[in-house]
Amino acid sequence: QKRTRPRSDAHRGLPLPPGPTPLPIVGNFFDIPSKLPWVTYTKWAEKYGDIVYMRVFDQPIIILNALGPVVDLFEKRAPNYSDRLLTPMVTLMGWDWNMVVLGYGPLWRRHRRAFHQYFNRMAVNTYEPQLREAAKKLLKRLYHEPKAFAHHLEYTFAENILSLVYGIQVAEKDDLHIASAARALAASAAGFNLGAWWIDFMPFLKYVPSWMPGAGFKRMAVGCRPDAAAMKIDTWQSMRTDSPYTPVAVKLSERYAHLDGEAYAEEERIAQNVAGMAYAGGTDTTVAALQSFFQAMVLYPEVLKRAQQELERVVGPNRLPDFLDRPNLPYINAICKECMRWQTVVPLGFGHRVATDDEYAGFFIPKGTVVWQNTWAILHDPERYPDPEAFFPERFIKDGQLNPDVTDPSVVAFGGGRRICPGRFFSDLSLFINVACIVHVFNITPAVDEQGNMVRTLPSMESTALSHPSPFPCTVRPRSKFAELLL
């Protein structure tokens, strides 16, 4: 029996969606788990249904645990479900220039349009040469220093996006731009982890002095400010025009070169935000999916073998895979899809704020509610994806081809409606080329300790907003002499 909340006139006579019982003042503050909240919300769905309501202090929150309501609200009612809540934590951390947190309106639209111009489905195809080069660089780094595979992924992706967006050529090691971005992103992940679950809904905490016991979050947030600002300003100021191709930032600045005064300043701010966001978005996200890929290859050796056989057949031993091969590589494509599903990179999407009071499925949805989509739940729904905890690319294949009847995880993994991730086409290309090249060249097997015993790896996710596997070791070795020659 579902429990619903009392009707009231303010609610147009409709109940709020069901959810855990709130306490006075704090509401459901103590119900929000600090670890893997998406798993708890999935369990709540069994008790309360696909639409779960809670309140943390004064902030109403809804979790959508199924694809139907996500499409109905984020897509079909997009004008009402595309706003954001700019929380105190984000402002404290100096991340408020970031278009992810911009309210729905003309300023967001201008950012979005500029971003789309350089990252739409067609535009990203022009980045293939750079993506190919970056993948090759990654292979070399993996060859020379295989134990540091997680670091190489992060470094090479940051390097590639810095070059693509700003034309900046980074140092081979310990680059200052990359170090600063890594600090800003790590702090924001940690801050968001704290913030999303509780601090963000306690606006008065903004006024707690940072020296007070328990105010470590504030010191951390303030400490991250210079790096968050540097991601936008220092990189912009280091923009290079002498690279062999025109960087996105240069193209962005050409758009308003004819303006002056305040109009120029405003366009420049937008361009800086867009470039900064491409940099921030392009650094950690696809990397997390690739880290899951490494973990999957350790745990599922038969998948790696099958993928290598497909590449041997289609690409052969004398060259690396390329984008043109993609239509002939259904199994590699299926692995990419499974990487987007298995250890969901953004497990709860990003909250959409409701602009005006609404009704849905017989429930009242108050204005100001922040609606989160439980992407992890949707991508681990056993009816859609049987045995969802298994990494099983075959689920996307039928008669040797990709099966169009199985929901493509990217329909959900990148969020929904008008706020859907505008970096998804770029991410898709880079995931494909890296997976294909790594599989073609390397065997990825469990690590071996000093006594020669195999180190056991268990799949496990970090509890951050942008999740990735918990650190694990593995052995990365060229498959053969032929493979080594490709490097």
Q: Does position 160 bind ligand HEM by CB under 6 A?
A: no
Q: Which of 88, 423, 469, 478 binds ligand HEM (CB under 6 A)?
A: 423
Question: CA–CA separation, 134 vs 156, rounded Å?
Answer: 7
Question: CA–CA separation, 192 vs 197, rounded Å?
Answer: 8
Q: Does position 38 bind ligand HEM by CB under 6 A?
A: no
Q: Does position 115 bind ligand HEM by CB under 6 A?
A: yes
**Could you tell me which stretch among 37-45, 295-303, 326-334, 417-425 binds ligand HEM (CB under 6 A)?**
417-425
Question: CA–CA separation, 375 vs 383, rounded Å?
Answer: 15
Q: Does position 347 bind ligand HEM by CB under 6 A?
A: no
Q: What tokens appear for 225 in the block?
A: 């400010």
Of 281 and 330, which CB lies nearer to ligand HEM in the complex structure? 281
| DSSP structure string for 134-176 | HHHHHHHHHHH-GGGHHHHHHHHHHHHHHHHHH-PPPPSSS-H
Least gap, CB of 168 to ligand HEM (angstroms) = 16
Cβ distance 299 to 391 under 8 Å?
yes
Q: Report the run of H or E that residue 359 belongs to, with start and end.
A: strand 358-360
Q: Which of 202, 277, 334, 336 binds ligand HEM (CB under 6 A)?
A: 277
Least gap, CB of 484 to ligand HEM (angstroms) = 30
Q: Which of 93, 158, 289, 461 binds ligand HEM (CB under 6 A)?
A: 289
Least gap, CB of 248 to ligand HEM (angstroms) = 9
> What is the C-alpha R_g of the chain?
23
Enumerate long-range contacts of 399-406, CB under 8 Å, 24 or more apart: 400/330, 401/330, 402/330, 402/333, 402/334
Q: Which of 346, 378, 438, 444 binds ligand HEM (CB under 6 A)?
A: 346
Least gap, CB of 349 to ligand HEM (angstroms) = 4
Q: Does position 345 bind ligand HEM by CB under 6 A?
A: yes
Q: Does position 415 bind ligand HEM by CB under 6 A?
A: yes
**Could you tell me which stretch among 42-50, 53-61, 221-229, 347-355 binds ligand HEM (CB under 6 A)?**
347-355
Q: Does position 37 bind ligand HEM by CB under 6 A?
A: no
Instruction: Work out the number of other CB atoms within 10 angstroms of the CB of residue 327.
Output: 10
Least gap, CB of 318 to ligand HEM (angstroms) = 31
Question: Which of the residues 46 through 85 are near ligand HEM (CB under 6 A)?
Answer: none
Of 188 and 308, which CB lies nearer to ligand HEM in the complex structure? 188
| CB contact burial 377-404 (16+ within 10 A = b; e otherwise) | bbbbbeebbeebeebbbebbbeeeebee
Question: CA–CA separation, 438 vs 343, rounded Å?
Answer: 19
Structure-token match 């692995």, residue found:
335
**Side chain identity at residue 326, one-letter code:** R
Question: CA–CA separation, 382 vs 222, rounded Å?
Answer: 42
Q: Does position 286 bind ligand HEM by CB under 6 A?
A: yes
Q: Which of 281, 321, 347, 409 binds ligand HEM (CB under 6 A)?
A: 281
Q: Which of 329, 354, 421, 433 binds ligand HEM (CB under 6 A)?
A: 421
Q: Does position 276 bind ligand HEM by CB under 6 A?
A: no
Q: Does position 409 bind ligand HEM by CB under 6 A?
A: no
**Residue 421 annotated in ligand binding:** yes
Question: CA–CA separation, 415 vs 281, rounded Å?
Answer: 14
Supply angle C-alpha 376, 473, 131, rounded to 5: 70
| CB contact burial 33-50 (16+ within 10 A = b; e otherwise) | eeebbbbebbebbeebbb
Q: Does position 135 bind ligand HEM by CB under 6 A?
A: no
Q: What are the residues binding ligand HEM (CB under 6 A)?
A: 99-100, 112, 115, 119, 277-278, 281-282, 285-286, 289, 345-346, 349-350, 352, 413-416, 419-423, 426-427
Binding site, by residue number, is: 421
